[in-house]
Structure 1
């Protein structure tokens, strides 16, 4: 049984994405080569590691054991790289970071740009997911760190404060709701919405709140990103909900009105989560220090 690090990384990528094709792409590998490697692992063990179907591939019980041990091996390798990097510059480190929509659009770009410029030997794999999915992935060891809203069940994960965030309603200047200072989410569910594209963590969050009210949102159109959403709202197509930081930035150049949401879940604290911060690689701990350092300014009030 001779599995190299390429095999282990590939198998983890397949398990994370639920697809051999997507796993091969993430591993920068041709599909035929990736399939051959996984078949080689299965042949070496004499048992199947993946259940293959129309909707993708998922690990068998034996495959889950491989995933568990692959995470341990690769995590230990990252720790070794981070520690050796203190002695020898040039060793590349990788940190896998998952984030919800608000952080990935409004808060992380500047912080990560500063960090990456100061640490050219560290690469970051950043992916957007819903907060509950991030917690599951971090707890399972599929990511080093996550940025989530603190209202989600964090289980046994450790957390550190990151930023404050508030969700607000945006409407066109001439919309009847523009005269309101505050509205409840339940009172606007009959309105046509401009939503974020499928897969958006924020949109999944809003859809879940609508479902709890026994309703579903009606979308005129879906777009990618809060700023694009505000531009469509400006034309009177529908209303939308975005982080306040994005709304205020869009309002500088768009004819939109920002209206507060009175719901208790509208203001949110974003937190950085990990299984154990002390067990992270040196590269990941350095990123934690950067992300949890006091922000130069924060226009969003946590109240």
Structure 2
């Protein structure tokens, strides 16, 4: 049995994405090469590692065992890489960072660009997830660092404060709600909404609070990105809820109004979470120090 690190990372990426195509893309390999590598792993072990079906792939019992050991091996390699980077140049570090929608779109681009410019030896794999998914990914070592909101239980993880994040209502300038200074989220749910696509973390967050109010969000249209949402809002297609940072930025160029939400959950504390800070390689700890300093 001879598996190299690319094999292990490919297999782990395939399991996490649920498809060989997704695994190939994450590992920066062609689909043909990825399929051949996985078949080679199965032939070497003499057992199937994946159950293949129309919806993608799922690990077999042997595949789950391999995925567990692959996580351990790859994490140890990253720790070794980080420790040795203090003594030599040219070694690349790799940090798996998972984030909520608002932090990913409105905070991290500027913060991460500064870090990456100062650390050309580090690469970051950034993915958007819902907060509870981020907690699971970090706890199961499928991610190194997570940025979550304070509504999710992160017991068992080490957590550090990051930024405050306020959600606001955005409307067209002539919408009836535009004249109000503040409004409760429940009082807006009779309106048609413009929102993010269904896989966005913020969509799931708002849908959950609507359900707690005994109602549901009705979407006129869903789009990718706060800019696109506000362009539809500007044309009175519907109203939206987005981070105040995004609303303030877009209000300078669009005919929209922002209205404060009175709900306590609309003001969130974004937090950084890790399994154990001391177990992370040095460049991952440097990233966390950079995030906390902003």
TM-score by length of 2: 0.97
Counterparts of residues 23-34 of structure 1 (less than 5 Å): 23-34=23-34
Q: 1:227 offset after TM fit, Å?
A: 2.3
Q: 1:70 offset after TM fit, Å?
A: 0.7
Q: Which residue of 1 aligns with 2:108?
A: 108
Q: Which residue of 1 aligns with 2:277?
A: 277
Q: 1:190 offset after TM fit, Å?
A: 1.2
Q: Which residue of 1 aligns with 2:37?
A: 37
Instruction: Give SS of 1:271's match.
Output: strand
Residue range with higher mean Cα deviation, 114-123 or 64-73: 64-73
Residue range with higher mean Cα deviation, 69-78 or 35-44: 35-44
**1:123-156: CA deviation from partner (whole Å, max 9, x where unpaired):** 0000111111111111111110110101111131
1-side partners of 2:161 and 2:221: how far apart? 34
2-side partners of 1:199 and 1:220: how far apart? 16
**1:191-231: CA deviation from partner (whole Å, max 9, x where unpaired):** 01111123111111111222223322111111211122122
1-side partners of 2:53 and 2:44: how far apart? 22
Instruction: Give SS of 1:206's match.
Output: helix
Q: Which runs of 5+ in 2 are unaligned?
A: none
2-side partners of 1:181 and 1:148: how far apart? 28
Q: Which residue of 2 aligns with 1:19?
A: 19
Q: 1:5 offset after TM fit, Å?
A: 0.7
Does residue 73 (structure 1) correspond to residue 98 (structure 2)? The answer is no
What value does the CA root-mean-square deviation take over the aligned residues?
A: 1.1
Q: Which residue of 1 aligns with 2:263?
A: 263
Instruction: Give SS of 2:165's match.
Output: strand
Instruction: Give SS of 1:9's match.
Output: helix
**1:143-201: CA deviation from partner (whole Å, max 9, x where unpaired):** 10110101111131111111100111001111111111211111111101111123111
Residue range with higher mean Cα deviation, 10-19 or 43-52: 43-52
2-side partners of 1:282 and 1:58: how far apart? 33
Counterparts of residues 185-204 of structure 1 (less than 5 Å): 185-204=185-204
Q: Which runs of 4+ in 1 moved over 6 A?
A: none
Instruction: Give SS of 1:138's match.
Output: helix
Q: Which residue of 1 aligns with 2:146?
A: 146
Instruction: Give SS of 1:273's match.
Output: strand
Counterparts of residues 154-233 of structure 1 (less than 5 Å): 154-233=154-233
2-side partners of 1:35 and 1:236: how far apart? 48
**1:53-78: CA deviation from partner (whole Å, max 9, x where unpaired):** 11111112221111111111111111
Residue range with higher mean Cα deviation, 238-247 or 226-235: 226-235
1-side partners of 2:282 and 2:53: how far apart? 39
Does residue 83 (structure 1) correspond to residue 83 (structure 2)? The answer is yes
